[in-house]
């Protein structure tokens, strides 16, 4: 990945967010759907055969180092994998970033049905989060990171009304009183099941590009809103169909995307051009 390791000095060390969605070490090749064709018989997008887990991790390691060095002091990496390699990738990332830099993980539930015939089906993917420095940008009060309180909770606990007509509840914890407003909702947890992959992978939806393993815009918009600021620099070193770049553009972030696939570049460029044309009209 020479482009990432040779970033201009003005950019290196200034990215507030990096989202990295590498191949999952699943084996085989991935084709792209073109027009109404099938992905499996479509044009080659990328290969996902590395000759074993050790070879896959050897590919990943220098890229993680380069991403770490590209992050700002308050930047964070969001590394998206599944059960095949995520545990080993965490051990590797702990070594590269430092174990104390691990900030947690998001369990993303795409909404796909189970496929295994023996044993429990794996119906989730994992996003590991690492900070470059002591702190990372975290916009925990952003509406994208909140959800409505349950109706039972609203009825039982939010009975008080302030001068502006807002329902609230007060809680006393360790001698301090904290006020919570009903209309702000509650912070979401680490399991995200409300960003279905169907939005990105069904040909009937305008969001779909036909590129394999495309992630839904709602997922990346939440990540961008959570871990960056307006005008922040956002990096995707394996941009694929360009979902991260699209989310960053829509949310007024500056961005840089890198991918070794010419097809990925064409798909992402067309997608971004369409978005910019819509914004200009």
**pLDDT beyond 90 at 90:** yes
Average pLDDT (113-121) is 78
Distance CA 240, CA 257 (A): 9
Distance CA 71, CA 131 (A): 9
The domains located in the chain, with CATH, are: 11-146+188-280 (3.40.50.150), 149-184 (no CATH)
List, for residues 166-192, the tens digit of each pLDDT value: 999 999 999 999 999 999 999 999 999
The percent of residues in the chain predicted with pLDDT above 70, rounded, is 93
C-alpha radius of gyration, the chain, whole number = 20
């Amino acid at each position: 990945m020479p482009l990432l390791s040779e970033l201009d000095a003005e950019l290196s060390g200034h990215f507030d967010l990096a989202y990295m969605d590498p191949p999952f070490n699943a084996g085989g090749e991935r084709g792209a759907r073109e027009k109404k064709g099938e992905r499996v018989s479509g044009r080659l997008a990328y290969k996902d055969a590395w000759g074993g887990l050790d070879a896959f991790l050897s590919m990943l390691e220098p890229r993680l180092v380069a991403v770490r060095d590209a992050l700002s002091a308050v930047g964070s990496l969001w590394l998206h994998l599944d059960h095949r390699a995520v545990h080993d990738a965490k051990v590797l990332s702990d070594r590269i970033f430092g174990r104390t830099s691990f900030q947690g993980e998001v369990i993303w539930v795409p909404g796909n049905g189970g496929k295994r015939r023996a044993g429990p089906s794996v119906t989730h993917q994992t996003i590991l989060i690492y900070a470059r420095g002591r702190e990372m940008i975290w916009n925990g009060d952003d509406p994208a990171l909140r959800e409505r309180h349950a109706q039972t909770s609203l009825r039982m606990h939010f009975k008080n009304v302030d001068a502006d007509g807002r329902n609230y509840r007060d809680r006393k914890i360790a001698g301090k009183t904290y006020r919570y407003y009903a209309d702000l909702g509650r912070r979401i947890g680490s399991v995200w099941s409300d960003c279905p992959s169907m939005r990105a992978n069904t040909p009937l939806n305008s969001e779909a590009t036909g590129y394999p393993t495309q992630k839904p815009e709602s997922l990346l918009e939440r990540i961008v809103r959570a871990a960056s600021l307006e005008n922040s620099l956002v990096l995707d070193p394996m941009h694929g169909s360009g979902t991260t770049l699209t989310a960053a553009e829509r949310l007024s972030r500056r961005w840089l995307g890198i991918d070794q696939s010419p097809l990925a570049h064409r798909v992402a460029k067309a997608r971004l051009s369409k978005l910019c044309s819509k914004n200009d009209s």
